[in-house]
Chain A
């Protein structure tokens, strides 16, 4: 079955890369599973689907992947104001929840070593639970995995 990565790269079932990826079926399945759990969970809890898509789009824009940006932009079609905020550089200021989340995404995606307790506490202060904060961090940290897998598979295909 086609996964997000196949769809974004246009990998058809008969392609050499499909056969290669089939050797690592669990990696394929669990990357897809992680993406679903983080971006499109059945129970999003205190981190809304719009916020999740905004965090993902933000990280893609920071790290660069046109196909993945189109994908995450598409998930924000019903929330144009959230999409505009996610696409605004530098990130919006202030202590409003979405602004805090976007600035947290910038920090974790680009300079995670500078993260401090105060950044986590600021998220708690606007009502995010421990589960929400871990989910947001997992999501911000997962998109860099997707970007590098896409870049690696693209290079493998071009070097065929």
Chain B
């Protein structure tokens, strides 16, 4: 039975979040660099304890996930859900699996990926993206020419591949932050890493 779910997962911080109404000008400015829908989330308010890193990191995250053109947004969400599965981040997996479903309507495919794991059958394009995400996450030294050629073989151009690298790398960061600074809470209240 897989721990991963499409359902809403909560997150409880281990460091006190900044209170939005008491945030300093530097903290408010840093929050402005983060994706608009998430600026007042407990997670970003926790990161706002160190506004210098949040501002730069928030802007980097926004570019990696939402930069115009290049790799399709659904593919970025698929890749980051896969990275989150490899890293065991139940919270991030649920968020980005949901976004993938919102963008594609492919609920059945995502539920199958979550329950069966990364070896589940996929079309060639998604297989190449999933394999690249898993490889760069688990074994960056093994991410070589063969992976790039596989991505080109299913039609990705170099800008799309760069976007994919940025998204995968971003979640090496995001998963660790989320798992270290707080606890995922499954629907029903069970705590998981």
Contacts and interface: CB of A to CB of B under 8 A. Distances in A.
B165 A134 contact: no
A120 B145 CA distance: 40
B15 A134 contact: yes
Consensus secondary structure, chain B interface: helix
A156 interface: yes
Interface residues of A, number: 55
A24 B145 contact: no
A7 interface: no
A21 B177 contact: no
Which of B15, B62, B166, B175: most chain A CB closer than 10 A? B15
B47 interface: yes
Interface in B56-70: 56-57, 59-60, 62-64, 67, 70
Interface residues of B, number: 55
A159 B148 contact: yes
Given A20-B159, A130-B16, A115 B180 contact: yes
Interface in A127-153: 129-135, 137-142, 144-153
A112 B141 contact: no
A21 B55 CA distance: 21
Interface of A: 20-21, 23-24, 26-27, 30-31, 33-34, 36-38, 41, 43, 63-65, 107-109, 112-115, 117, 119-120, 129-135, 137-142, 144-153, 155-156, 158-159
12 contacts: A23-B162, A34-B60, A112-B87, A112-B89, A115-B180, A120-B181, A133-B15, A135-B50, A142-B173, A146-B169, A149-B165, A155-B145
